[in-house]
């Protein structure tokens, strides 16, 4: 019995010795949490660019990161984190601009014209016309330049503002509170942009990427679907999307939706997008899906 106990004990020791390395937590120090801002500043210095955080040059460089304008940066092992940083940086700048515009609008004592207000009474567009969406998108873009409709406010990140204008131009009616608050209202329950004197009363669902999606994805007249950055999923997206639809992007490496585009063209080979605030914050006309990589795609289809 003693021999059996000794043999059994030895067996347990051997098993523990064999199993422990497999399941034990390695005694390695956790890597230092990356600092995207530091990485980017050092990368810029290597290129001879001494941009300070918050400067126009730095802001534009950050805006261009998700567009992969600096292809050398995309080779960095933490590139996905840098993209997320860039998107969050852009959101912070957008929020600062919203606060400034909101304060300006609240100081403007001009009364909003009653006939501008559309109450939330219709559940579908009064007369949705895809071609009018496309026409609006083409009319208010200049490929490689900027073209803006002054009946609406202008934002540093203007892509969703533009997408809203195009959908409104196609017949999607604005929906507002019966009494429209002055300034910019954070909401995904209403969708509007009214010019009032020298300022604008706007819902964040009109101008902010995630709020636009939040408003329309909860609206029964719109069908939403998402697609990965794979050849298979892109082929399905090409099949499902039609001119007049909206597509939004989010990075494959994580992070929120950050960009809104209008589908303006479709042929046997591809679908094409037109949008504001592309690389270098310029307009882009008829960008093919095949040339957009590193993103997930969110399709919003109004009606049939």
Domain residue ranges of the chain, discontinuous segments joined by +: 36-107
Please state the pTM of the whole predicted model.
0.86
Strand partners, 299: 225, 247
- Collect contacts of 44-51 with beta carbons under 8 A, ≥24 apart: 47/72
Q: What is the pLDDT of residues 206-261, one digit of tens each?
A: 999 999 999 999 876 799 999 999 999 999 999 999 999 999 999 999 999 999 99
Cβ atoms of 279 and 67 closer than 8 Å: yes
- Averaged pLDDT score across all residues of the chain: 87
Q: What are the CA-CA distances from residue 212 to residues 37, 73, 164, 191, 248 (Å)?
A: 29, 30, 8, 8, 10
- pLDDT per residue as tens digits for the range 82-122: 999 999 999 999 999 999 999 999 998 888 764 555 544 34
Q: Which two tokens mark 303?
A: 């009606």
Which residues lie below 8 Å from residue 168, measured CB to CB, with a gap of 6+? 174, 193
What whole-number distance in Å separates Cα of residue 18 and Cα of residue 153?
A: 67
All residues at 6 or more sequence positions from 247 whose CB lies less than 8 Å from its CB, including other chains: 237, 241, 260, 261, 263, 273, 297, 298, 299, 300
């Amino acid at each position: 019995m003693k021999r059996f106990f000794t043999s059994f004990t030895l067996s347990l020791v051997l098993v523990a010795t064999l199993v422990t390395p497999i399941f034990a937590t390695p005694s390695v120090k956790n890597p230092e949490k990356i600092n995207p801002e530091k990485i980017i500043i050092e990368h810029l210095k290597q290129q001879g660019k001494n941009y300070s955080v918050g400067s126009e040059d730095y802001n534009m460089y950050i805006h261009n990161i998700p567009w992969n304008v600096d292809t050398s940066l995309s080779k960095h092992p933490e590139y996905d984190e840098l993209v997320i940083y860039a998107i969050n940086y852009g959101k912070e700048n957008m929020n600062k601009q919203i606060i400034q515009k909101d304060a300006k609008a609240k100081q403007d004592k001009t009364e909003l014209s009653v006939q501008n207000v559309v109450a939330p009474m219709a559940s579908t567009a009064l007369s949705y016309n895809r071609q009018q969406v496309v026409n609006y998108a083409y009319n208010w873009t200049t490929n490689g330049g900027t073209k803006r409709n002054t009946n609406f406010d202008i934002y540093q990140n203007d892509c969703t503002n533009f997408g809203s204008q195009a959908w409104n131009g196609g017949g999607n009616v604005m929906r507002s509170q019966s009494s429209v608050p002055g300034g910019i209202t954070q909401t995904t329950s209403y969708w509007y942009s009214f010019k009032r004197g020298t300022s604008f009363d706007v819902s964040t669902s009109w101008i902010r990427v995630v709020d636009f999606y939040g408003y329309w994805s909860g609206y029964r007249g719109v069908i939403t679907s998402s697609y990965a950055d794979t050849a298979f999923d892109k082929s399905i997206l090409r099949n499902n999307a039609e001119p007049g639809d909206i597509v939004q992007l989010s990075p494959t490496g994580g992070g929120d939706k950050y960009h809104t585009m209008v589908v303006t063209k479709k042929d046997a080979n591809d679908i094409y997008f037109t949008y504001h605030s592309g690389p270098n914050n310029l307009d882009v006309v008829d960008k093919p899906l095949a040339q957009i990589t590193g993103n997930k795609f969110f399709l919003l289809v109004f009606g049939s």
